[in-house]
Amino acid sequence: MKKFCYVIIAVLLIIGVFMTAGCGKSDQATLNVYNWGDYIDDSVLAEFEQETGIKVNYDTFTTNEDMFIKVKSGGSNYDVAIPSDYMIEKMIKEDMLEKIDLNNIPNYKYIDPAFRKLSYDPNEEYSVPYMWGTVGILYNKTMVNDPVDSWRILWDEKYEKQILMLDSQRDSIGVTLKMLGYSLNSRDTQELEAAKEALIEQKPLVLAYVGDDVKDKMIQGEAALAVVWSGDAVFMKWENPDLEYAIPNEGSNLWFDAMVIPKTSTHKKEAEQFINFMCDPEIAFKNTDYIGYSTPHTEAKKQLDPELLQDKTAYPSEEDLKDCEIFYDPGEFLKEYDRVWTEVIAY
Residues that bind ligand N2P (CB under 6 A): 36-39, 84, 212, 229, 232, 255, 257
CB of 203 to ligand N2P, least distance (A): 24
Main-chain phi, psi angles of 339, to 5 degrees: -65, -45
Q: Indicate the residue among 186 and 253 with the shorter CB distance to ligand N2P.
A: 253
Q: Indicate the residue among 92 and 166 with the shorter CB distance to ligand N2P.
A: 166
CB 264 within 8 A of CB 74: yes
CB of 297 to ligand N2P, least distance (A): 16
Q: Indicate the residue among 30 and 60 with the shorter CB distance to ligand N2P.
A: 60
CB 140 within 8 A of CB 241: no
- Determine the 3-state secondary structure of 31 from DSSP: strand
CB of 33 to ligand N2P, least distance (A): 14
For the chain, strand residue ranges (E) read 30-36, 55-61, 80-81, 128-140, 163-166, 206-210, 225-229, 243-246, 254-259
Q: Indicate the residue among 182 and 229 with the shorter CB distance to ligand N2P.
A: 229
Question: Looking at beta carbons, which residue is closest to ligand N2P?
Answer: 36
CB of 142 to ligand N2P, least distance (A): 25
Secondary structure (DSSP) of 138-186: EEETTT--S---SGGGGG-GGGTT-EEEES-HHHHHHHHHHHTT--TT-
Q: How far apart are CA 200 and CA 206, in angstroms?
A: 10
Q: Indicate the residue among 101 and 212 with the shorter CB distance to ligand N2P.
A: 212
CB of 211 to ligand N2P, least distance (A): 8
CB of 172 to ligand N2P, least distance (A): 14
Q: Indicate the residue among 65 and 270 with the shorter CB distance to ligand N2P.
A: 65
Q: Residue 146 to residues 93, 143, 195, 225: CA-CA distances in angstroms? A: 44, 9, 24, 11
CB of 101 to ligand N2P, least distance (A): 26
Beta bridge partners of 257: 84, 131
CB 87 within 8 A of CB 68: yes
CB of 239 to ligand N2P, least distance (A): 14
CB 311 within 8 A of CB 234: yes
| Among candidate residues 269, 278, 329, 277, the one with its CA nearest the CA of residue 119 | 329
Beta bridge partners of 246: 137
Q: CB burial class (10 A; 0-12, 13-18, 19+) of residue 325?
A: middle
Q: Indicate the residue among 16 and 37 with the shorter CB distance to ligand N2P.
A: 37
CB of 87 to ligand N2P, least distance (A): 10
Calculate the CA 238 to chain-centre distance.
20
Q: Indicate the residue among 41 and 197 with the shorter CB distance to ligand N2P.
A: 41
Q: Indicate the residue among 54 and 228 with the shorter CB distance to ligand N2P.
A: 228
Residue type, 19: M
Q: Tell me the longest C-alpha to C-alpha distance in the chain.
A: 96
